[in-house]
Structure 1
Amino acid sequence: MSVKTFNQPDSASMICDAYPSAIDASVSVLSRLGAAFAPHARATPDMTVALDAGHVFDGATLTEVAAQNASLTAPAANPRIDRIVINQLTGTVSVVTGTEAASPAVPAIPSGFAPVARVRLSAGATVITNDMITDERDLSALGRIIAVEAGTGLTGGGSSGTVTIGLETPVAVALGGTGTATAAANTVFAGPASGSDAAPSFRSLTLADLPADVATTEDVAKVALQHGQCRLVLSGSNLLLSPYNGKRLIVGGVMRTVPAAGVSLSPIGLTAGTVYYIYAYMTSGGEMALEASTTSHGTDSSTGVEIKAGDASRTLVGMACPQTGPVFVQSPNAVGVLSWFNRRRLRLVTVYGQEGEAGSALTELSSAARVYALNWSDEPPMVGYYVYASVENTSGQSCSVALALDSTSVAYQGVNTGVFASGSSSPTIPFAVPPVVAVDAAEGVYHYFTVVGLCQGATASFFNISVVGDLRG
């Protein structure tokens, strides 16, 4: 639509068509402002108030708002005054419903809204007419900032009156209009401290610039050497993590103190035959405690500490496999508890005096000769055996013996074969293999080592069957 030029109408001086033409031109010029959000009854009156089109400018964007309607409801028993308002930033219409009363009050204008009209409604009203509407448009606040709130690095803020914002973040300051001064990493301000204006200078950071409670690289190295000053053992029926060669242990990335009395863990609630990793953690009350978990461990990339996989709040301290009861076990033929720190040499040996027989098929000589043990992957156990075999009135027959790992019929290592000599009513052959590293003993399994054997052409008797060895844990 084309624009017109404002021409002040003057009935005294304008003659003929000049006067109505001036009126048309002037009204055309004023209509954009005068008609903005103008309230009135609908062409066919109902319980809505029509608002003409308007516009809102927020300092950057001009928004044209189409004509819209505000719906009202009739009061039930007494008159009521409702207020029609628009959002200062969007121009969207809203209705503020008043309170019914013999002499109703006008409801307040909400923050962030501009008044458009108020409507006096009688009880049971069915239509709204122009005589019920009071135009109270004040659009001077449209597009203005409603409130200022302080964000990161700022203080103050508010939603009305004079708003003060305080800046707390560092800023780059121009030096005589020539640029900005920037401090490099690990430097501090060196001057000038007084005198005339000058560009600031910076110097390298020194140890004296640091607060007393800031750790140096040397301090961190000393702390790292203190980690792991503890050992996990079986004490009575419970596991016990005790101080050893100190009392420091990193838990959750922080150096902690292992209590002098130690930290215990009961087998109650654990499943017999299940291998658990034992982790130290800090309770919400700041106390050190132990946790048994089937979740394996890994190295924390930020601290180098061995932790529960995916959970740096848990530090690995050991491993255990409870047996029926459940009970923790620890003996030369059943090593069911290992310590991650300050490992000891633990002896492996069968209960003395076991006997058994074997024919032509490889079989376990005696289940009573088994030795059970856990082990860490970085320190597999060393295991061997010794045993004697005899055959009644038989000569020239061969007999084989071997160590087995988690099997009663498959030789693992240390296969030893002997032939019975002639001329003896009961020839005897000794077999012995010194301990060797059991490289296939995987971590996280409660292994057993046993002795298997066979005798070709006869049934051999075996006695003094024994598995021997040691491991660290």
Structure 2
Amino acid sequence: MPTQTFNPSALPQSETNWAVARRMVDAFAPHAQTAPNMTVALDAGALLQGTTLTEVNPQNVGPFVAPTSSFRIDRIVIDRASGVASVITGTVGGVTPPSIPANKLPVARVVLDNTTLAITGERIFDERVLADLSTWTPPSWGIFSLSGDQTSNLSVGSPVRFSTTMGGNLALANYTITLPANKTFVLRAATNAVGTGSGGYLNTQWYNVAAGSYTGVISSSTVVTYSGSINVSVQPTALAVISTTVPTDVQLRIFDQQQLSLISGSQSYAEIVERQ
């Protein structure tokens, strides 16, 4: 739509409302200079990227250069991180404005012809869109199980052999789950241990492979006997919260055990969910 200079009404009943709205309404508003020339004025604005809030001062964009013949549609864009404005030059005689480059946000189209000596308001078309949903990524999560009973590698320090992804988008390989960078995750796991006798136990805990250390709450599964001969454990939860700055590999590992004969594949699981 054609642009106008932001100018809240002085009517008493609306003045306060406009003052509250101005930060949002006026952000990066494009308009002609008070004395029109071959530049375009942009009002102040603000951008949020992740946890970084950037305040941007008013800017002058240009100077634009008129085509020597026909007409041209140029585009004003801002960098989505810094808010610095720049001009993308269109094609002479083309009715389609130039494409928006990656990591830029659109502010305005400017129509020029070979008679243009100054950019007035009717040549500026507001197209501000200061949010881009294409940068949104779905939360990372996963639910994992064993492909069958784990009957080997039951010593302390061995990983529980989660090898099947039941759902989610986290990467799993070699009993190791990779957590993407710059996120916070809640990790839970329950294991059903079968022992060679009552009184045995299995303790598991989450292990940060990159850091080389255990983290979170230990799951302590005490084996009990039921039906007179079957030695199985209760299923408490191994719990951890991990915040990542780089991609981080984690495993659920055997922290301690006694009289352990297998970990049940049908009754053991791990769940990892990104905390929003």
| TM-score, scaled to structure 1 | 0.30
Q: Indicate the structure with greater strand content.
A: 2
Higher relative contact order (CA 8 A, sep 6+): 2
Over alpha carbons, which structure has the higher Rg? 1
